[in-house]
Structure 1
Amino acid sequence: MLKLQAQIISGYSEKIKEVTDDINQTKKLIDKLSLVRVGLFLAEILFFILLVRSADDSLRTLIQIALLWPVIAFAYVVRKQSRLDLEIDYKKQLLWVYQNEWNVLNGQENGYDHGTAFESETHPYTSDLDIFGKASLFALLNRCSTKKGKDVLAKKLAGKSTRDIILNRQEAVKEIIIKIEETYSFRASLHGYDPEKIEQIKTQLKLQLGEQLEFVLSKFLRLYVKLVPFVTFGLILAAIIFSSAFWKILALVFIIHTGWNVLLSAKINKVFYSFGGSSGLLNGYASAILWTEKQNWKSTYILSLFDSHVPVSQEIKSLSKIIQNFDARLNILVGGILNALLLWDLKCCINLDIWYKSSSKDLIAALNHLGDFEELISLATVAYNQPDWVFPIVTDQFTLKTEQLGHPLIRPELRIDNDFQLSTNPTVDIVTGSNMAGKSTFLRTLGINMVLAYAGAPVCARSMQLPVFSINTYMRIKDSLNESTSTFKAELNRLKMILDNVVKDNDTFVLIDEMLRGTNSRDKYLGSKVFIEKLIAEKTPALFATHDLQLADLIIDHPETVRNFHFDIQISDGEMKFDYLLKQGPCKTFNAAILLKQIGLTLD
C-alpha cells in the first residue's frame, strides 16, 4: 500500500508541475497582450497626429474611421487580459490545492483550518482523542474553506449519529471518491476568499435586504429609471441635431439626477456595502454550485442536499452580474457620470430587488449546502490519499472487531497496528503495562477510529466492525486556576459526567487512562475498583488503562465481565525495547526501576 500511496504523491507532483506550467504560459500571454496595448496606444496617437495634419478630404475621413479601430482593439485586449487574470487567480488556487495535498502526504501541516475554535475540555471525548486543534483529526481531514463546511465537519466528528445516516454517508463519500479529480477544481473555486464575506451576504439576503430595498418599490421610481436611458440619449441627440437649448435641459436633468442620488445615498450605501466587491467571490461560488448541479448523483445522502429544481448557479451568476455593475460606483468619475446619465445606482438596486424576490431563498440553501459538499469531499480526499484505509462495517449487533488497527495521526512507517475484539457481552477490559509501552496510544487509536467510522469515513485498519456507541473518555484531566478546580476535583467532575451518560445512554463506550491520579494510592485503587464495578453493573463496555496491577485481579470476582490485556517491554543488557503490541493477560514486566536508575535513583 505504501507503493500505491507513493503513486498518489507522484500524481500530485505531476499536477503541480502541469498547473505551474499553465500559469507561466498564461503570464507570458498577458505580457504579450500588454505590448499589444502599448502598440495600439501608439497607433492611436499616430492616427491622431495624421488627422491633425490632414486636409479636409477623403483621406481625412478614412483617418477618422481608422481612429476607431485601435480603440475597439484596445477594449478587446483589455477584456481578454482581464479574463486571463481571473484564469491565473483560479489556477493559483488550484495549484495551492494540489500543493497542499502533496504537503500533507509528506508529513507537513494541512493548510486548511485546524478546528481550534471547536476545542472543548468538557466534551465527552474530543479533547482526549485529539479531534480538534493542531495535529488533530480535524486538521488531517479538513478541506473546507467555508464556515458552514467547517461547522458541518466539526458536528459530524463531535456528535452521535445513527446507523442509517452513517451508511448513507459512506455511500456518498464512496461516490465522491470516484469523482475525486473534479473535486480539486471545486475546492479551488472556493479557496482564497474571505469566508466571513459569504456569511455576511447570507445574513443580508435572509434578514436585511428586503427591508433595505423598500425605497425602490415606488412605481413611479421604477418607471422613470426604466425610461431614463431613452430620456437622456434623446436629449443628447436633440441637442446635437436641433438646438443648444437641449444642452441646458440636459444639464438640468443631470443636476436633478445627481441630487436625487445624493438624497438616497444613505439607503443605497446600506445595500451596496453588504455586497460591494463580492462579484469575484460570487462567481467562484457559482462555479462550485454548478459542479454540484451537473453531476449525475446516485447516493441518497447527496440527493437530499438539493432543495431547488432551478439551476441555482445561474441565479448566483445573475446576482454577481448585478454586483459587478454596482461596483462601477467605486470609480468616482465613472460612477458620477453613470448616475447623472442613467441613475445607475438606483437601477442596480431595482435589479437587485427583482432578483431578491425570485431567487434569494434558493441561493441561501445552495450556499449552505456547499458546506455539506466540502465536508464530504474532506472525507473522500483522505480516503483517496490513504488507499489502505477501509470503510468499516456498521452493525446493529453488539460486536466490535478490528484487524491491524492503527492511529491515523501517526505516519504509516512509524505506527504499530493491533488487532482487538470485544467479547460477545459487555466487559471492562483492563489494560496494564509499563510507561511508554503504548497503553494510552492504543486507547486513543481505538477511540479516534470509532469517531472516523461514525462520521462515515474510512478507518485506519485492515478491517473494522462495530455498532454505534456513545464514546466517553477520561484521559487528560487538567486543573483550573480560573475555576479554582484541583486535579482531583476535575477528575471527579469527569467521572460524574461519564456516570450520568452511562445511565442515560445504554450504548455508551468508555475509555479510561489512569483514573484518579490526583489522590493517594489506596483511594485511587478503591475508587477505580468501585467505578469498574459500576460499569459492570450498568453493562457498559470499557477499556481501562492502568499501572495498578491490583485492578487486574478483579477478574477473579468477575470472570465473565472483566478481561486483562497488557503492553510489555523487552529488556536486553539494561536496554528497554517496546513492540507496542497488545497481548492477553496482565503485565509482568515494568520499567519504572530502569527509568529511575537512569536518573541516579536505585530501588531495592
Structure 2
Amino acid sequence: MKESEKIYCRRKKHYDHLVKSQSSTVVRISRLRFLIFLLGIIFIVGFYIKNYHYMSLSIFLVSAILFVLAVRIHEKLKQNTDFTKKLVEINCNSLKRIVGDWKEFNEKGENFKNVEHNYSWDLDIFGENSLFQCINCCNTYLGKENLKNVLSSPLGNSKDIEKRQSAVLELSCKLKWRQHLEAQSSSIEDNKESVSKLKEIVSTKNSTYRNKYIIVVFKIIPIVTIMLLFMSFVFHFFNNSIGYAALVVQIILLLPGAKNRFSTLNTVFNLKSNIRSYEKTISLICKEKFQCDYLNDLKSMLLKKQNGKLKNAAEEIYKLKKISESISQRQNLAYIILNIFFLWDYQCMFAFEKWREENGRELYDWIETVGKFEMLSSLAVIAFDHSSWTMPQILDKSLVLKADSMAHPLLGDKAVCNNLDLNKNSKVALITGSNMSGKSTFLRTAGINLVLAYSGAPVRAKSFCCSIMSIYTCMRISDNLEKNISSFYGEILRIKSIVEAANRGENIFFLLDEIFKGTNSIDRHTGAKILINELMDSNTCGMVSTHDLELCDIESESNERVKNYHFREYYKDNKIQFDYKLHRGASKTRNALYLMKMAGINVPDD
C-alpha cells in the first residue's frame, strides 16, 4: 500500500468517527431545542393563568433567548457535520483515484472535448476515461476553466512552468488545507451563465444610487413617514389622513425604476449562497501562509493595499454577503410591508451600489484567483498521490524529449515503462510493430506526459527533460459527415496544420499514428516518406507509427535522424502475448492473420 493511500485511509477513518460524534450532538441539541420550546410554553401559560404576568413575561424572554441560541448552535453544528461529510467523501474519492476507480467520477470535462484541438482529443485529455476526469478537484466554473486551459493551451516559457512546479510541490504538502479548500468550494454552484451574470452586474454602474443627495433624501423620508404615522395613529397630533398620505407618497416613490431594482436585487439574492461560499473559500486562502512566489502572487490578488489600508477580499465579500442577506424574496408579504415603510429596495440598492463602486472591478479577479488555486490543487494531487513520479526538467534548448522509464499516467499498474530519447540529432522515432502491440499507447504516453510537464505537474517517469514545444497529433481521424470530410482528407488537414505551424517557426512535437491509412499502399508509402523528410528538415521532432515496413529505409537515408523502433509479440501455449517493451530496429513479425484466426475467420495456412 502506498504511503498516500495509508494517509487517506487514516483521514477517512478520522472523519467517519467525527461525523458520528457531530451527528449525535446535532440530535441532542435538536431535542434540547424542542424541550426549551415545550417547557417555555408550559411555564408561560401556567404562570399567565395564575396571573403571574411578570413571571410569565420573564420566562417568555428567557426561553426565547435560549431557543434562539439553541437554533444557532444547532445550525452551526449541522454546517460542521455537513463539512465533515464532504471531507469523508473527498478522502473516499482520493482512495478511488489511487486504486484506479476514478473512472466513476461524474465530472469528466465532456464540455471541453474538441475533436479539432491540436492534441486533446487524441490524448484523452477530456471526456470519458480522461486525464481531466482523473485529476480534477475543482468545483467552481473558473476552476475547471483554469484546469482546462493549463491542460490544453501552451504555457509560454520555462520560468512560468518552473514557478508553477514550485507551487504544485508546496501545495502537495498541504493536504489538510487542500481538502478544506475542496470541501469549502463544493458549496459553490456556479456555471458559465451565473459567472457572466455576476461579472455583468458588479461591473455595471448606476449613478442614480451613488448620488449623495438622493441617498440622504431617501434615508430621511422613511424616518419622517414613521414619525408622522406615530403622531397620527398613536399620539393623534394629526388627522389619520396625514399618515396615509405619507405611506402613499412612499409607495409612489417605489414605482420609478422598480423593474431595474427588482432585476438587480433579485440577481444578488439568488447568488446569496454562492457569495457566502466564496467568502469562506477566499478567507481560507487569505489565512494560509505560503512560501513560493507564485502562490504569494496569487494570494496578493486577494490582499491589496489601497489608500494606505490593507484591502481583504474576504472581508469585502463578507460585506456583499450581508447585503445579499438583507434582500428577501420580493413576493414575500413581510418584505412588501418592509419595503413600503422603509423604502427597503432603495436602502439595499444604496448599500450594493456603494459596494459595487468600491469592489466591482475586482470581484471577477477574486473568484478567478479561487479557480487558480483549485487548478493548482488538482495538479498537487498528482504530486502527493505518486511520490515516485518525477518533476520534469524544462530545457531552454530546442527539440529535446528524453525520458527514462516513462509510463502512461492513466493505466495504473498495467502500464509498462519505456525509454525515449529525441533530440536534434535523432528527431523522429519511426515505430513499427504488429497489431495490438502497444504503438498507439506509447505515442499517447509520450504526449500526455508532455502535457503534464507543461502544466507544472509531475510526470510518470524516473527522469524526464523536455524543451518547450507545441504538441500536434494525428491519431483519431474519422469521417465527418456533417462537414462532408473523409478520414483521409481529415488527416491531410491535420498534417497541413502541423506543416504550417512549423513554417511559422514554432518548435513542434508531433505524434502521427498509422499515417495516411485511408489511402492505397503506394500513395501511403510515398506520402509518408515525403512528409517525414519535410518534418525532419523543420523545427520538429516526434514519433510516427506505421505498418509500412518499407518506411524503415529512411533511417539509413537520413543519417539516423530518423531511428527505427518496434514493439514485438511472442507466443505462449499457442496464444499471442505482448510485453509492450520498445525495442531498437524495425519490426520483423506480423500477426494480422493470426488475429483473424482467433476471431474465427477461416485463414488457410501458409
What is the TM-score of this pair, normalised by structure 2? 0.91
- CA distance in 2: counterparts of 1:22 and 1:319, whole angstroms: 33
In structure 2, the CA distance between the partners of 1:63 and 1:243, relative to structure 1 (3 Å rule), is: farther
What corresponds to 2:89 in structure 1? 96
- CA distance in 1: counterparts of 2:474 and 2:35, whole angstroms: 73
Report the secondary structure of 2:425's partner residue: coil
Structure 2 unpaired stretches of 5+: 306-310
CA offsets, 1:538-590, max 9 Å, x none? 25322111111111122232233221111111123432121111111111122
Question: Please, which of 162, 166, 174 is the counterpart of residue 169 of structure 2?
Answer: 174
Residues 163 and 395, structure 1, Cα contact 8 Å, conserved in 2: yes
Indicate the larger mover: 582-591 or 257-266. 257-266
What corresponds to 2:588 in structure 1? 588
Report the secondary structure of 1:304's partner residue: helix
Residues 396 and 467, structure 2, Cα contact 8 Å, conserved in 1: yes
In structure 2, the CA distance between the partners of 1:500 and 1:103, relative to structure 1 (3 Å rule), is: same
Residues 180 and 380, structure 1, Cα contact 8 Å, conserved in 2: no
What corresponds to 2:14 in structure 1? 18
What corresponds to 1:530 in structure 2? 530
RMSD across aligned positions (CA): 2.5
Q: Could you tell me which amino acid in structure 1 is paired with residue 382 of structure 2?
A: V
What corresponds to 2:314 in structure 1? 313
CA offsets, 1:307-347, max 9 Å, x none? 333110000011001101112x4572331332243222221
Report the secondary structure of 1:566's partner residue: strand
Q: Could you tell me which amino acid in structure 2 is paired with residue 79 of structure 1?
A: R
What corresponds to 2:604 in structure 1? 602
Q: CA deviation at 1:99?
A: 2.4
Residues 93 and 192, structure 1, Cα contact 8 Å, conserved in 2: no
Report the secondary structure of 1:543's partner residue: strand
Report the secondary structure of 1:195's partner residue: coil
What corresponds to 1:30 in structure 2? 26
Does 1:83 pair with 2:76?
Answer: yes
Structure 1 unpaired stretches of 5+: none
What corresponds to 1:567 in structure 2? 567
Residues 512 and 544, structure 1, Cα contact 8 Å, conserved in 2: yes
Q: CA deviation at 1:505?
A: 3.0
Q: CA deviation at 1:405?
A: 0.3
Residues 430 and 563, structure 1, Cα contact 8 Å, conserved in 2: yes
What corresponds to 1:405 in structure 2? 406
In structure 2, the CA distance between the partners of 1:92 and 1:254, relative to structure 1 (3 Å rule), is: farther
- CA distance in 2: counterparts of 1:330 and 1:189, whole angstroms: 29
Residues 151 and 451, structure 2, Cα contact 8 Å, conserved in 1: yes
Q: CA deviation at 1:262?
A: 5.0
- CA distance in 2: counterparts of 1:95 and 1:370, whole angstroms: 22
In structure 2, the CA distance between the partners of 1:120 and 1:91, relative to structure 1 (3 Å rule), is: same
Does 1:146 pair with 2:140?
Answer: yes
Q: Could you tell me which amino acid in structure 2 is paired with residue 311 of structure 1?
A: N
Report the secondary structure of 2:540's partner residue: coil
Q: Could you tell me which amino acid in structure 2 is paired with residue 478 of structure 1?
A: S
What corresponds to 1:260 in structure 2? 253
- CA distance in 2: counterparts of 1:569 and 1:134, whole angstroms: 29
CA offsets, 1:266-288, max 9 Å, x none? 23211122111333321211121
Report the secondary structure of 1:276's partner residue: helix
- CA distance in 2: counterparts of 1:364 and 1:603, whole angstroms: 70
CA offsets, 1:372-421, max 9 Å, x none? 1111111001211121211001111343221110000101x211111121
What corresponds to 1:69 in structure 2? 62
Does 1:289 pair with 2:289?
Answer: no
Mapping of 1:195-344 within 5 angstroms? 195-196=190-191, 198-208=194-204, 210-211=205-206, 214-227=207-220, 230-231=223-224, 234=227, 242-243=235-236, 250=243, 252-261=245-254, 264-305=257-298, 306-307=300-301, 308-309=304-305, 310-327=311-328, 329=329, 332-344=332-344
- CA distance in 1: counterparts of 2:209 and 2:436, whole angstroms: 71
CA offsets, 1:213-257, max 9 Å, x none? x44345454224434675466567767974486877555544543
In structure 2, the CA distance between the partners of 1:253 and 1:43, relative to structure 1 (3 Å rule), is: farther
Residues 236 and 250, structure 1, Cα contact 8 Å, conserved in 2: yes
Residues 157 and 451, structure 1, Cα contact 8 Å, conserved in 2: yes
What corresponds to 1:156 in structure 2? 150
What corresponds to 1:353 in structure 2? 353
- CA distance in 2: counterparts of 1:563 and 1:184, whole angstroms: 46
Residues 19 and 95, structure 1, Cα contact 8 Å, conserved in 2: yes
Residues 405 and 445, structure 1, Cα contact 8 Å, conserved in 2: yes
Q: Could you tell me which amino acid in structure 2 is paired with residue 34 of structure 1?
A: S
Q: CA deviation at 1:263?
A: 5.1
Indicate the larger mover: 515-524 or 556-565. 556-565
- CA distance in 1: counterparts of 2:182 and 2:421, whole angstroms: 39
Does 1:53 pair with 2:54?
Answer: no
Does 1:487 pair with 2:480?
Answer: no
Report the secondary structure of 2:464's partner residue: strand
- CA distance in 1: counterparts of 2:239 and 2:70, whole angstroms: 37
Q: Could you tell me which amino acid in structure 1 is paired with residue 430 of structure 2?
A: I
Report the secondary structure of 2:414's partner residue: coil
Residues 173 and 384, structure 2, Cα contact 8 Å, conserved in 1: no
Residues 423 and 541, structure 2, Cα contact 8 Å, conserved in 1: no
Q: CA deviation at 1:78?
A: 2.2
Q: CA deviation at 1:457?
A: 0.7
Report the secondary structure of 2:132's partner residue: helix
- CA distance in 2: counterparts of 1:75 and 1:157, whole angstroms: 50
In structure 2, the CA distance between the partners of 1:184 and 1:554, relative to structure 1 (3 Å rule), is: same
CA offsets, 1:70-125, max 9 Å, x none? 22222222222333333334333333322222222232236363222222222221
Report the secondary structure of 2:429's partner residue: strand
Report the secondary structure of 1:431's partner residue: strand
- CA distance in 1: counterparts of 2:252 and 2:44, whole angstroms: 38
Q: CA deviation at 1:460?
A: 0.7
Residues 44 and 67, structure 1, Cα contact 8 Å, conserved in 2: yes
What corresponds to 1:554 in structure 2? 554
What corresponds to 2:510 in structure 1? 510
Question: Please, which of 180, 189, 198 is the counterpart of residue 194 of structure 1?
Answer: 189
Q: Could you tell me which amino acid in structure 1 is paired with residue 312 of structure 2?
A: P
Report the secondary structure of 1:464's partner residue: strand
Q: CA deviation at 1:258?
A: 4.2
In structure 2, the CA distance between the partners of 1:602 and 1:490, relative to structure 1 (3 Å rule), is: same
In structure 2, the CA distance between the partners of 1:548 and 1:603, relative to structure 1 (3 Å rule), is: farther
Indicate the larger mover: 189-198 or 560-569. 189-198
- CA distance in 1: counterparts of 2:47 and 2:448, whole angstroms: 79
In structure 2, the CA distance between the partners of 1:40 and 1:181, relative to structure 1 (3 Å rule), is: closer
Residues 133 and 139, structure 1, Cα contact 8 Å, conserved in 2: yes
Residues 231 and 238, structure 2, Cα contact 8 Å, conserved in 1: no
- CA distance in 2: counterparts of 1:385 and 1:325, whole angstroms: 44
Q: Could you tell me which amino acid in structure 1 is paired with residue 414 of structure 2?
A: L
Q: Could you tell me which amino acid in structure 2 is paired with residue 550 of structure 1?
A: E
In structure 2, the CA distance between the partners of 1:275 and 1:20, relative to structure 1 (3 Å rule), is: farther
Q: Could you tell me which amino acid in structure 1 is paired with residue 562 of structure 2?
A: V
Q: Could you tell me which amino acid in structure 2 is paired with residue 70 of structure 1?
A: S
**Number of aligned positions between the proteins:** 592
What corresponds to 2:126 in structure 1? 132
What corresponds to 2:308 in structure 1? none
